[in-house]
Structure 1
């Protein structure tokens, strides 16, 4: 419960109008109304005076303090996002990047991203990249280190693109991705450029721009070196997501099969792991997340199977190797497929780990995809189903967790 809802409930319980509470706490009733509706943030004085006036025994003050802590965390994240964008713009504006060294923390950040929330990773990657830029501007590098540091700056920009997208800011994500692409080209690193094109396609899919997403995939495919890393399989899985969203079941399944064949041809591992590696588990996750956009039936059955396989694989891994956000999303994708198959009880079981997530663990994708499950359960098809009603209400409650 938030301070706003707690204040409103306690005012109702005391039988007070806004005007009545206004007289007791000496705040304008319009201000109180905006606080209760979430349009304005409360202040401590209102919390303390309302707590006394409504005989809340300190409960309202505690709710205020909890909300204030969240607001401070969100403010820090916004500040880090703004700082990271400023660095990206500086990076893009440099006509001829001179880079010093591959930063020691790049690989560690790429691996840690799988298990850390996006906000602290945003701050961490921005700090790492700021150091790269400082070295760049001071010309503290050797003549043969330039390409390596282009790659370091590009990968850090890629981490920032993912963090911004997970925080729901696709415009910032695109700016970071463009910087990463520029660095990849400066370095002549086609592996990184293929990864960036896949990420740009992901951002376009987040925005629902599937034609643009396909363009990124097809541009990226021009730079693929067959058998070198998992970039080709990742691009193909992105293409399958686009085709599924565009309603082409046959082509989506064919491309997913082609992605499996591309993985079998890999003879040279990815240069860096974590966020920059497209594991077999992630590939199964992509298959599940693609086919849920079709009309159910065999597509939904394959989606449910692939999502469950990804979940099972992640749960058998050491904690540091699990991609927690993707694992959580796989639960939602499995639930979506099961709703398409009219298995509401199975969908509720799949969603169970998601329904208890605290707000700070709910990346933007979780809200978007869970909302879709709730919308599906609101259709006439599920009228009269208590299980559907329960699950729909539980999903709605996620936003106030």
Structure 2
């Protein structure tokens, strides 16, 4: 039995709550959840502590060693595939190397990422980027294709940055974002450079460093040409998230208004969508996820409107542009805004679709944001409120 399944089974059989287990093995509850889902490998020292806690007699340690060996073998296989792919291209007619197939792979990965787990997207991006870099190094391409190859390598580095961040590794994510930025510089692609600035800001926000995140955003405006794609809109929404978390309601709302003005100025669409686009649904999602960190009132009212708009846009829009995880988080943001407005019944209704998700779809951010909602519903002013109590119980059952 693989380690994630065994760890989850032992915890459930023990009857220990997730938070209790996390405390005794020196880990965060969201990290334990990731270990059980297989979304993140558990460190050996954590596994040792868990084996002792559950009196597993070395079974968890044995499973860890087996899984670790499989990971190393898989990594070797990925490197072999990348090398074989590059070699095959070298053996092709060098004067006719066509990068169309590579670009198609980049385009498909950018779209598929919205509805796929990060690990397989990371694996695909690694193979494709190895191909792009080999072509650049070997100079087995037409001179006119060199810029396109750098853009492809940069976008694939961007995919890796997002995947590592979604898997809980911001440091590694930043290294890939830096690589994407260097590729954008070599290619002279301002759109990619603006996207990289927004992604670096996202990584800093993940780490709770909102002042640094604000620096990245404001540094990125130099690359966001007015009317050219959604780069400025995305950056202004990122600025709003920073300002809201820093407690500046007026500036956060101004940034969101600026994002809408930037969208209305767009005259040239993004050259690539999916992960590298910024749809109106995503814009509303960012607005809601910003304003729920303020003090309620008008901010909560706008957050509720924006979350509702994001959900409706995703449900009515093209399947390829639907980001299920973000849509589910929007349900939580809507519920959070309604609690801030003292609408407990409305909050319970909003979060209901999230509470029935299978465990493999309960990503760490869903659990984390739902936990905050549960804390709000557990405040003394809701004591005796049956709906609040029932909703808290259902939230606590997530990932347990």
| Shared fold (TM-score, shorter chain, > 0.5) | yes
CA distance in 2, matches of 1:6, 1:361: 18
> Is 1:243 matched with 2:243?
yes
Q: Is the contact between residue 190 and residue 224 of structure 1 (CA under 8 Å) also seen in structure 2? A: yes
**Which residue of the partner structure matches residue 253 of structure 2?**
253
Pair 108,225 (structure 1): closer, same or farther in 2 beyond 3 Å: same
Pair 342,167 (structure 1): closer, same or farther in 2 beyond 3 Å: same
CA distance in 1, matches of 2:345, 2:268: 43
What secondary structure is seen at the aligned counterpart in 2 of 1:282? helix
- Superposed CA offset, 1:361-399 (max 9, x none): 233322322222122223223223232222222222222
What secondary structure is seen at the aligned counterpart in 1 of 2:399? helix
**Which residue of the partner structure matches residue 362 of structure 2?**
362
Cα distance, 1:38 vs structure 2: 5.7
**Which residue of the partner structure matches residue 205 of structure 2?**
205
| Counterpart among 50, 55, 59 of residue 43 in structure 1 | 59
How many residues are paired up? 344
What secondary structure is seen at the aligned counterpart in 1 of 2:389? helix
Pair 9,376 (structure 1): closer, same or farther in 2 beyond 3 Å: closer
Cα distance, 1:74 vs structure 2: 12
CA distance in 1, matches of 2:295, 2:329: 20
Pair 378,313 (structure 1): closer, same or farther in 2 beyond 3 Å: same
CA distance in 1, matches of 2:56, 2:233: 47
- Superposed CA offset, 1:266-307 (max 9, x none): 001111111111111111111111110100011101101110
**Which residue of the partner structure matches residue 181 of structure 1?**
181
- Superposed CA offset, 1:73-122 (max 9, x none): 997599769x89xx9xxxxxxxxxxx984623001111111111222212
Q: Is the contact between residue 304 and residue 337 of structure 1 (CA under 8 Å) also seen in structure 2? A: yes
CA distance in 2, matches of 1:352, 1:105: 37
Structure 1, unpaired ranges of 5+: 11-30, 47-67, 88-98
Pair 348,217 (structure 1): closer, same or farther in 2 beyond 3 Å: same
Worse-superposed segment, 292-301 or 391-400: 391-400
CA distance in 1, matches of 2:271, 2:177: 19
**Which residue of the partner structure matches residue 32 of structure 2?**
none
CA distance in 1, matches of 2:209, 2:267: 33
Pair 3,125 (structure 1): closer, same or farther in 2 beyond 3 Å: same
Query: Aligned ranges for residues 213-252 of structure 1 at < 5 Å?
Result: 213-252=213-252
**Which residue of the partner structure matches residue 8 of structure 1?**
14
Pair 113,262 (structure 1): closer, same or farther in 2 beyond 3 Å: same
Q: Is the contact between residue 51 and residue 59 of structure 2 (CA under 8 Å) also seen in structure 1? A: no
CA distance in 1, matches of 2:269, 2:391: 42
CA distance in 1, matches of 2:340, 2:68: 38
CA distance in 2, matches of 1:169, 1:78: 21
**TM-score between both structures, scaled by the size of structure 1:** 0.78
CA distance in 1, matches of 2:157, 2:385: 47
CA distance in 2, matches of 1:164, 1:74: 21
RMSD (CA atoms): 3.2
**Which residue of the partner structure matches residue 304 of structure 2?**
304
CA distance in 1, matches of 2:303, 2:133: 43
Pair 78,185 (structure 1): closer, same or farther in 2 beyond 3 Å: farther
CA distance in 2, matches of 1:209, 1:74: 36
Structure 2, unpaired ranges of 5+: 17-46, 83-96
CA distance in 2, matches of 1:329, 1:241: 15
- Superposed CA offset, 1:172-200 (max 9, x none): 21111111111111111110000010111
Pair 270,32 (structure 1): closer, same or farther in 2 beyond 3 Å: closer
CA distance in 1, matches of 2:383, 2:362: 28
Pair 236,394 (structure 1): closer, same or farther in 2 beyond 3 Å: same
CA distance in 2, matches of 1:214, 1:225: 19
